């Protein structure tokens, strides 16, 4: 079974080399999320580093979605600090948990902390 995820960076930033319309407006985000559900695209990829994307997403019912978030570069941070950062994202998203957590910088996983 093939599954797709929707990246949400343009929900929070004016992002993308071919982006001519800037950050996606709230009414368009609502339409995009509805279209995702209608087409069984239930995974959303977001990150604290995506500007206002988390603040945008929290305005919608995220219960039908699986969210994946990313931890920004955190070299030399303790696992407790990384966990606090993840908790901040959960609070911004207004959800109790995410489906997965990724690291923007793989070198963070090599840190002795």
pLDDT at 33: 97
Q: Cβ(11)–Cβ(53) under 8 Å?
A: yes
Alpha helices in 13-78 (DSSP H): 26-38, 53-57
pLDDT at 83: 86
The Cα–Cα gap between 5 and 66 comes to 9
pLDDT, tens digit only, all 113 positions of the chain: 668 999 999 999 887 777 777 788 999 999 999 999 999 999 999 998 899 999 999 999 999 999 999 988 776 777 788 888 889 999 999 999 999 998 877 777 777 76
Return the CATH number at 32: 3.20.20.100
Residue 113 burial (CB count, 10 A): 12
DSSP 82-106: HHHHHHHHHHHHT-S--SEEEES-G
User: How many domains in the chain?
Assistant: 1
Q: Which residue's structure tokens are 């071919």?
A: 18
Which pTM was predicted? 0.86
């Amino acid at each position: 079974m093939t599954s797709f995820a929707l990246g949400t960076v343009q929900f929070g930033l004016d992002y993308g080399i071919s982006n001519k319309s800037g950050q996606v407006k709230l009414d368009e985000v609502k339409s995009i999320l509805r279209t995702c559900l209608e087409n069984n695209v239930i995974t959303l990829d977001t990150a604290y580093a995506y500007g206002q994307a988390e603040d945008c997403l929290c305005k919608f019912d995220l219960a039908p979605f699986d969210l994946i978030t990313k931890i920004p570069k955190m070299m030399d941070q303790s696992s407790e600090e990384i966990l606090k950062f993840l908790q901040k994202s959960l609070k911004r998203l207004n959800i109790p948990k995410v489906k997965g957590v990724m690291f923007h910088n793989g070198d963070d996983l090599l840190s002795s902390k």
